[in-house]
Structure 1
Amino acid sequence: MIINLASVLVDDQAKALKFYTEVLGFVKKHDIPMGEFSWLTVVSPERPDGVELVLEPSSHPAVGPFKAALVEDGIPFTSFAVDDVQKEYERMRALGVVFTQQPTEMGPVTVATFDDTCGNLIQIAQQN
């Protein structure tokens, strides 16, 4: 068994696609219209046949309170691996990304948390 899809709940698919591709550097894999929304996925350019991240519409009534509670408590919705958290932090800040946690060493990992502009806090992490 392998993981082939993971989702992040976004409040605007077009805005999310722009952020996740132009700022984070992912590549659009699928954009299939499905009524009001699309089946919209991105992948790492380093692993184009790897795990797809679904930019999932956050239209379900339970999603708003769930996302708000996570953000209020400072809890990232998901985490992305990077080789150098400090370098990514500086690159992303230069692009205007707002971080809620600066790079912080936590034992075997260094992490930082940012706002994805789509209602989520996302963590980047590097193994030390």
Structure 2
Amino acid sequence: MRIYVTSVLVDDQAKALDFYTSILGFQKKHDIPLGAHRWLTVVPAEAPEGTELLLEPSAHPAANPYREALFADGVPAASFQVDDLAAEHQRLEARGVRFAVPPVDAGNVRMAILDDTCGNLIQLIEMVAP
């Protein structure tokens, strides 16, 4: 068993696609119209057959209160691993990304939390040697 797809709830799929591809560097995998919304997934450019991230519309009545509570409490909706957090932080800040938490040591990881502009906080993790 393995994870095929996971999702983040987004308030605007087009805006999310732009952020996750143009800013973060993922690539679009699927874009299938489904009524008012789309089955819209992205994957890492270096792993196009890997786990897909679904940019899920936050249309369900429970979605926005849930996202707003997580955001207000500083809880990330997803966590992505990077090889060099300092370099990613610098690259993303230069592209205008707002960080709620700048890079910080946290045990065996360095982590930072960014605002995806679509209603979510996203955690970036760099594994460090114990």
TM-score relative to the length of structure 2: 0.97
Instruction: Say whether residues 1:62 and 2:59 are aligned partners.
Output: no
Q: 1:39-96: per-residue Cα shift (whole Å, max 9, x none)?
A: 0000001100000000000011101111111111111011000001111001000000
- Residue 75 of structure 1: SS of its match in structure 2? coil
The percentage of counterpart residues that share the same residue type is 57
Give unmatched runs, 5+ long, in structure 2.
none
Instruction: State the match for 2:52 in structure 1.
Output: 52
Instruction: State the match for 2:31 in structure 1.
Output: 31
Letter in 2 for 1:100: A
Structure 1 position 100, deviation (Å): 0.3
- Residue 65 of structure 2: SS of its match in structure 1? helix
Provide the alpha-carbon RMSD of the alignment: 0.4
TM-score relative to the length of structure 1: 0.99
Instruction: State the match for 2:120 in structure 1.
Output: 120
Structure 1 position 26, deviation (Å): 0.2
Instruction: Say whether residues 1:109 and 2:109 are aligned partners.
Output: yes
- Taking the aligned partners of 2:32 and 2:106, their CA distance within structure 1 comes to 40
- Number of aligned residues: 128
Structure 1 position 105, deviation (Å): 0.4
Letter in 2 for 1:113: I
Instruction: Say whether residues 1:20 and 2:20 are aligned partners.
Output: yes
Instruction: Say whether residues 1:80 and 2:96 are aligned partners.
Output: no
Q: 1:4-41: per-residue Cα shift (whole Å, max 9, x none)?
A: 10001000000000000000000000000010001000
- Taking the aligned partners of 1:34 and 1:59, their CA distance within structure 2 comes to 13
- Taking the aligned partners of 1:22 and 1:55, their CA distance within structure 2 comes to 14
Instruction: Say whether residues 1:11 and 2:11 are aligned partners.
Output: yes
